[in-house]
Structure 1
């Protein structure tokens, strides 16, 4: 395989993990990892929490140290953007004018923040939070801003709101839906976090939106709400979800109906082009449907699976989806899916700020939401991943020993 050259487009969690796993699996060909940012590849989750609080230095969020790449013969090309795939010639054209040949091409392009099409969205002091560059700028503004507007009550918006409120800032958060994290969690967990954020000092506004952002001398000064009222604003964070970065694939004729579509081998409609991570539209065995998953777990587990496949080893991507979000002193962890559950069983206590919700559909466990219950989360991943049978009645009984379900039998 020494004449092979694998090119990975995207130096996020998935791309870096794939490069590392390829070497671990014995791939000996040339390996090129492209990143369109100039920073060394880094973790994204801390950007809205520990990094903003200055509790973590920049080198503390790196995915790998700077020596890792040369030591593993990974050619790291930063600040390079792929602009065209010549599928017939197996060549990748870069914005810099460079052309790379490939034996296999992997698209780990992730996603970009969804644009909010309103007046003033590009004023100085209006941010999204996806990149290290954005986090640096946001952290600087956060030191002096007093009136902060957050648009969107997803993970990023809520994580940032909790961080800003903990630093004594006035935070108003606006969400079109009637509850926080409406697409990701049960109504019960939404209600719990709404109450918690109010206690953190965040002013929550549901079924409400910002219709315009006003500025003075090019800098944000206020926002106009859907009811016509105006609020002062020193800075605005927009967190209304991601759009898959699939334009490179679509331009080359690769099938991308809602992100880049892949088969069970993580191959696209071109057998020499593969895709992993947030941008991938795949059949999820735990969901029983095609979907995109925006999570670190999905990106890294797909990367490990693809590494095996590319070196000729058998592998299937059937990992249990899991997610997490740290908001204030609350750690939310989710395994599987609860949105289609017909029965929800509570273990723990909302009042004690430590609980798990077990979701069942037709008597089968489909997912678990946990707050400050890391043990329950790890157990849930075992139950779902190993298809261990458990009943709602067993979960509902506080005397039940959940660990006995996964304890090795003698």
Structure 2
């Protein structure tokens, strides 16, 4: 018998949807995603809980759908999030099949709900057990939430040097002047409700693993029973005369972003570095600054990571917005006046007038505070962990950009990768293993970069690729690139070619090998693109 607050409507005939297909349907003008998988029908929310992308344009493989924009995955039967980015699940709806017709039931009370938070416990004061999370980024937050979702009721403390609660750092270089309340991952009342303490503007300066204590920059000492190191990376500083002038800036924090935006308006900007941060900042400022000049040491931007052709295309995109490039060059000196930047001197003697210099030349793992401890770090100062996110010290785990971990699709060789999605995935694994729920890291890297409103998507791990196979046309800015090593596809990138990268990510996640011959074939039906 139907409840008074429910609406049930027929949405299609059984024959309208084949196995492995999905379609958007409506109940009482409310859109949802109807899926037929393994002979069963199910219905979930139609918008990704990360940035609201339409999942109908995503990749359906088995019982899960992968977002076409940033790669988040959801189980189509339960709506649960199974791969990141994003924090929340999809709402799910009751489905019944009768007389060859498919009916979906909607609850009026939750009609406008587009996200579903998994049930989480809180803290019980009588439980004397503390998990300390060093770092206020996605790995720490995901670890905290996975603990509460699995009924951990001890104390959770997150230590963050930021002056705001955990936020979406990926947005900073894409929109420097964004307001803090628009990028917070969770509001303070949510964190308080679930007993997740966040200590802002605090930094751990040392760890004593024997006594299970950490010391903060204010001299305070905190005990722990289990520890997560998720301190991320910091921007690499420029090493040249004048690098310490007032208007030479690094983009590391929410505060940095706002200051760079303010200092750049109507002024002459020089960006040093042509990888993801530098290029996104240059693109964002192209219509806000008086001039934008970009300095890179390679022939084209992204040359090592994405290849020459894509780099050349992105360079042309920004040049069309009057961004000037000075490639195959470097900075010998920054000259100032009254303590502020005046001009940048290049290796070939070129002088660039500048009011502000933004430096984006790579990152360094934040592990200096571990000196003197027994926690192992590698030659790059990344914290060494196993596939369970355990360090060499009992009860000490690590996750996120600060770690070197074994990547399954790279033959379990250790890698250090600074992707948002990966940080969340590693934080989840760390949390589950803290609870003795043995879980290995098994994720496929996925990231995106945005230039002038256009998004390049990337999946896999392209280290050591020796060939690129293109579909579409790079110059026309509609392409799919396969990165090849030993006649196998190890990574893929695209622009205006959705949901190709999401589908490739799902194939990689299932362990399906993609050959160079498949990539080169004129027939791409194996990709099942719309």
TM-score w.r.t. length of structure 1: 0.93
Give me the whole-angstrom Cα distance separating, in 1, the residues matched to 2:507 and 2:321: 34
User: What is the match of residue 120 of structure 1?
Assistant: 242
| 3-state SS of paired residue (2:266) | coil
Q: Tell me, yes or no, if the aligned pair for 2:230 and 2:398 is still in contact at 8 Å.
A: yes
Q: Which structure 2 segments of 5+ residues have no match?
A: 1-123
Give me the whole-angstrom Cα distance separating, in 1, the residues matched to 2:172 and 2:294: 19
Between 251-260 and 293-302, the greater mean CA deviation after superposition: 251-260
Give me the whole-angstrom Cα distance separating, in 2, the residues matched to 1:163 and 1:380: 29
**Deviation of 1:281 (Å):** 1.1
Q: Which structure 1 segments of 5+ residues have no match?
A: none
Using a 3 Å threshold, how does the CA distance of structure 1 residues 342 and 181 change in structure 2: closer, same or farther? Answer: closer
Between 376-385 and 36-45, the greater mean CA deviation after superposition: 36-45
User: What is the match of residue 150 of structure 2?
Assistant: 25
Q: 1:35-93 CA distances to partner (integer Å, 9 max, x unpaired)?
A: 0122222111111122x2x4x42211111112121011011111111111111111111
Using a 3 Å threshold, how does the CA distance of structure 1 residues 122 and 367 change in structure 2: closer, same or farther? Answer: same
Among 81, 85, 94, the alignment partner of 2:216 is: 94
**Deviation of 1:358 (Å):** 1.4
Structure 2 residue 485 is the aligned partner of structure 1 residue 361: yes
User: What is the match of residue 199 of structure 1?
Assistant: 320
| Aligned alpha-carbon RMSD (Å) | 1.9
User: What is the match of residue 510 of structure 2?
Assistant: 386
Give me the whole-angstrom Cα distance separating, in 1, the residues matched to 2:362 and 2:270: 16
Using a 3 Å threshold, how does the CA distance of structure 1 residues 23 and 183 change in structure 2: closer, same or farther? Answer: farther
Q: Tell me, yes or no, if the aligned pair for 2:310 and 2:474 is still in contact at 8 Å.
A: no
User: What is the match of residue 311 of structure 1?
Assistant: 435
Structure 2 residue 368 is the aligned partner of structure 1 residue 260: no
Give me the whole-angstrom Cα distance separating, in 1, the residues matched to 2:348 and 2:465: 36
Structure 2 residue 305 is the aligned partner of structure 1 residue 181: no
Give me the whole-angstrom Cα distance separating, in 2, the residues matched to 1:264 and 1:350: 37
Structure 2 residue 291 is the aligned partner of structure 1 residue 167: no
Among 96, 100, 104, the alignment partner of 2:226 is: 104
Q: How does 1:290-309 map to 2 (within 5 A)?
A: 290-309=414-433
**Deviation of 1:345 (Å):** 2.1
Among 401, 406, 413, the alignment partner of 1:278 is: 401
Using a 3 Å threshold, how does the CA distance of structure 1 residues 223 and 363 change in structure 2: closer, same or farther? Answer: closer
Moved over 4 A (4+): none
Structure with higher helix content: 1
Give me the whole-angstrom Cα distance separating, in 1, the residues matched to 2:316 and 2:167: 33
Q: 1:114-168 CA distances to partner (integer Å, 9 max, x unpaired)?
A: 11111111212211111111111111112231x2111010100000111111335
Give me the whole-angstrom Cα distance separating, in 1, the residues matched to 2:193 and 2:155: 13
User: What is the match of residue 331 of structure 1?
Assistant: 455
Using a 3 Å threshold, how does the CA distance of structure 1 residues 402 and 351 change in structure 2: closer, same or farther? Answer: farther
User: What is the match of residue 274 of structure 2?
Assistant: 153
Q: How does 1:1-150 map to 2 (within 5 A)?
A: 2-50=127-175, 52=176, 54=177, 56-145=178-267, 147-150=268-271
| 3-state SS of paired residue (1:67) | helix
Q: Tell me, yes or no, if the aligned pair for 1:249 and 1:260 is still in contact at 8 Å.
A: no
Q: Tell me, yes or no, if the aligned pair for 1:118 and 1:212 is still in contact at 8 Å.
A: yes
Q: Tell me, yes or no, if the aligned pair for 2:449 and 2:455 is still in contact at 8 Å.
A: yes
User: What is the match of residue 494 of structure 2?
Assistant: 370
**Deviation of 1:211 (Å):** 1.2
Give me the whole-angstrom Cα distance separating, in 2, the residues matched to 1:193 and 1:144: 24
Give me the whole-angstrom Cα distance separating, in 1, the residues matched to 2:317 and 2:167: 30
Q: 1:10-37 CA distances to partner (integer Å, 9 max, x unpaired)?
A: 0011111211121112211110000012
**Deviation of 1:314 (Å):** 2.6
Give me the whole-angstrom Cα distance separating, in 1, the residues matched to 2:155 and 2:453: 45
Structure 2 residue 469 is the aligned partner of structure 1 residue 345: yes
User: What is the match of residue 213 of structure 1?
Assistant: 334
TM-score w.r.t. length of structure 2: 0.73
Give me the whole-angstrom Cα distance separating, in 1, the residues matched to 2:287 and 2:350: 26
Give me the whole-angstrom Cα distance separating, in 1, the residues matched to 2:208 and 2:164: 27
| 3-state SS of paired residue (1:157) | helix
Q: Tell me, yes or no, if the aligned pair for 2:237 and 2:250 is still in contact at 8 Å.
A: no
Q: What number of residue pairs does the alignment pair up? A: 402
